[in-house]
Structure 1
Amino acid sequence: MQYFGIAIFVGIIILFLLFFTVKQQTAIVLERFGKFHSVRTPGLQFKIPIVDKIAGKVSLKIQQLDVVVETKTKDDVFVRLKISVQYQVIKDQVYDAFYKLDNPYTQITSYVFDVVRAEVPKLRLDDVFEKKDDIAIAVKGELQEAMNTYGYDIIKTLVTDIDPDEQVKHAMNRINAAEREKIAAQYEGDAARILIVEKARAEAESKRLQGQGIADQRREIAKGLLESVDVLNGAGITSQEASALIVVTQHYDTLQAIGEKSGSKLVLLPNSPTQASEMLNTMVTSFTAAHELNEHQIKKEDSTDSKRNNPNKDDSFTFPTNP
């Protein structure tokens, strides 16, 4: 009975040695007597104990390697670039990935350094930021061609960080701040100019409407005066008497309006019974003088035109002679 139990125990151990499992997204390299035998895929697998040996495991998942490269740009600025390389072992080339390349990380890093240090020195610092996708494509193209031989597929390369020298970053920030202040000043100047222009337009429109209102007011006053003169003429009052009556009436109406205005202060105005008559005489005299001056100017212009058209004509006055 004791031997039977030992036999069962030995059988279980042999069973465990005969069978093994392979996890998902993993490949097992199996060697027989130290020589490559086969690649086992995920699932339950069989091997001969002592004869077969698991040489190693190869992950079929997408992996990422971050490489930091320091180099110099065309305008002599030192910059550090972080390149992220996503790669994967090709399922049908597990043998090449396991036996041909001892350290894939070192190999990928070397190619990244080579490509970046060949591409970045051709570009200025501003172009490095703008053309980072071109740098990533160049790195992927070089890696893809080299690593396919070793059983690795380059899924994607990314330039995840561009870090210039600290002093250069401060200078770039100052330049950016100065440029933004310049733009802000331009916008503020434009806004101030627009306000000034609009204010001037509003004042001009206000003056225009004010002048138009005064002109309309005076036009209506003139119409009213004309109607008043016609009414007074119809009542047998001459035009001069009607004008004097209207001036006197408006004079006293103005004095009354000044006195009745709320909050008005003391206003001293010359006033006498003859004030309206003197005002009317002054107005009539002014109108007469202006009319005579206008007629004299018209006669002078006609004389000048006549001389220009008949230069031989003598306008001098001659006394008649007796026969």
Structure 2
Amino acid sequence: MDIEQFLIDTLQNNLIWLLLALLIFILIFKGVKIVPQSEQHVVERFGRLRSVLGPGINMIVPFIDKIAHKVSILERQLPTASQDAITRDNVLTQVDTSVFYRITEPEKTVYRIRDVDSAISTTVAGIVRAEIGKMDLDEVQANRSQLINTIKANVEDAVDNWGIEVTRAEILDVNLDQATRNAMMQQLNAERARRAQVTEAEGAKRAVELSADAELYASEQTAKARRILADAEAYATQTVAKAINENGLEAAQYQIALKQVEALNALGAGQGNQTIVLPAEALTAFNDAFKLLKGRG
């Protein structure tokens, strides 16, 4: 009997220790929470928000606190959305947008909004329509980066109460109906034709200007040559006048005789057989010239 009682007591003691160890294990399992780096956990106590657990090892009160929500804090991309928008100049466009965001305050996200993606998509669509309605089509095409920044800022203001940070907003494409595309193509072709005509006219104008410049240059050079020739003739006249002034009539007669002889030589240097008939007075003048030249020699 003593041995049986001893065994029963030992078994009871071991069972108590076993139950105690199991209880400690359960308390540790329930009280110690390891949160991944990419998540944050929202803790509730009796249905109310207790705390938000960050990455790493965290402690909660077992059986009283519980992990109500496990929220990923990784950046997310909304599916590409298309919405119709009318510009200020009444052009119907279809705008494709994409938004990137991340949750920064999980307690706001889980308790203030049910479907985050749908809510952000609806907000973006409304803001895109409102902003494009303030701009003409040409402004939408030319100022896309400015439009993106405006949309991003407005979306950030709208979702601030949801604990969300909008990291990036993109306008992927702005599509037009076929009629508008055809009209724009006609306008583009007309503009190209106008530019070609302007370029051709400018080229013709430049050619006329260059031709006028060439004629003016030629006229200036001709006038310059004539001025130089006139200066040379004036210098020769001055030289002859000076010689006459210094040597008297004999120098003038000598010059005349020299010119007469040069003229006779020029007549005799012609090609072929030719006969030169001179009047008697001319022969007398040439004879006097030869005498004068001989005397000067």
Query: Which residue is equivalent to 2:133?
Result: 121
Query: Which residue is equivalent to 2:193?
Result: 178
* Structure 2 spans left out of the alignment, 5+ residues: 1-14, 286-297
Per-residue deviation, residues 169-203 of structure 1 (Å, max 9, x unmatched): 53454245335424433542343234223312321
Tell me if the contact between 2:30 and 2:62 (Cα under 8 Å) persists in the aligned partners.
yes
Shift of 1:35: 5.9
Tell me if the contact between 1:251 and 1:276 (Cα under 8 Å) persists in the aligned partners.
no
Tell me if the contact between 1:30 and 1:40 (Cα under 8 Å) persists in the aligned partners.
yes
Within a 5 Å distance, the mapping from 1:58-137 to structure 2 comes to 58-65=71-78, 67-91=81-105, 94-132=106-144, 135-136=147-148
The answer as to 2:162 corresponding to 1:150 is yes
Tell me if the contact between 1:30 and 1:53 (Cα under 8 Å) persists in the aligned partners.
yes
Query: Which residue is equivalent to 1:209?
Result: 224
Shift of 1:67: 4.0
- Over the aligned positions, Cα root-mean-square deviation in angstroms equals 4.6
Tell me if the contact between 1:244 and 1:276 (Cα under 8 Å) persists in the aligned partners.
no
Per-residue deviation, residues 253-288 of structure 1 (Å, max 9, x unmatched): 7669x98xxxxxx6999965559959x9xxxxxxxx
Within a 5 Å distance, the mapping from 1:1-323 to structure 2 comes to 19-24=32-37, 26-31=39-44, 36-47=49-60, 53-65=66-78, 67-91=81-105, 94-132=106-144, 135-136=147-148, 139-140=151-152, 142-154=154-166, 157=169, 159=171, 161-165=173-177, 166-227=181-242, 229=244, 233=248, 236=250, 239=252, 241-242=253-254, 244-252=256-264, 273=278
Shift of 1:41: 0.8
Tell me if the contact between 1:21 and 1:42 (Cα under 8 Å) persists in the aligned partners.
yes
Tell me if the contact between 1:27 and 1:41 (Cα under 8 Å) persists in the aligned partners.
yes
Counterpart AA for 1:70: D
CA distance in 1, matches of 2:50, 2:223: 104
Counterpart AA for 1:44: I
CA distance in 2, matches of 1:268, 1:231: 44
CA distance in 2, matches of 1:232, 1:270: 38
Tell me if the contact between 2:43 and 2:66 (Cα under 8 Å) persists in the aligned partners.
yes
| Percent identity of paired positions between Structure 1 and Structure 2 | 21
Query: Which residue is equivalent to 1:289?
Result: none
Counterpart AA for 2:235: E
Q: Which moved more, 1:222-231 or 1:187-196?
A: 222-231
Q: Which moved more, 1:7-16 or 1:108-117?
A: 7-16
Shift of 1:22: 2.4
Question: Structure 1-normalised TM-score?
Answer: 0.60
Shift of 1:148: 1.9
Per-residue deviation, residues 47-92 of structure 1 (Å, max 9, x unmatched): 567776544433445545454433232333332334454544333x
Tell me if the contact between 1:244 and 1:277 (Cα under 8 Å) persists in the aligned partners.
no
Aligned length: 264
Tell me if the contact between 1:67 and 1:112 (Cα under 8 Å) persists in the aligned partners.
no
Shift of 1:40: 0.7
Tell me if the contact between 2:83 and 2:96 (Cα under 8 Å) persists in the aligned partners.
yes
CA 1:223–1:149 in 2, change beyond 3 Å: closer, same or farther?
same
Question: Structure 2-normalised TM-score?
Answer: 0.65
Tell me if the contact between 2:127 and 2:155 (Cα under 8 Å) persists in the aligned partners.
no
Counterpart AA for 2:36: K
Q: Which moved more, 1:21-30 or 1:203-212?
A: 21-30
Per-residue deviation, residues 269-315 of structure 1 (Å, max 9, x unmatched): 9965559959x9xxxxxxxxxxxxxxxxxxxxxxxxxxxxxxxxxxx
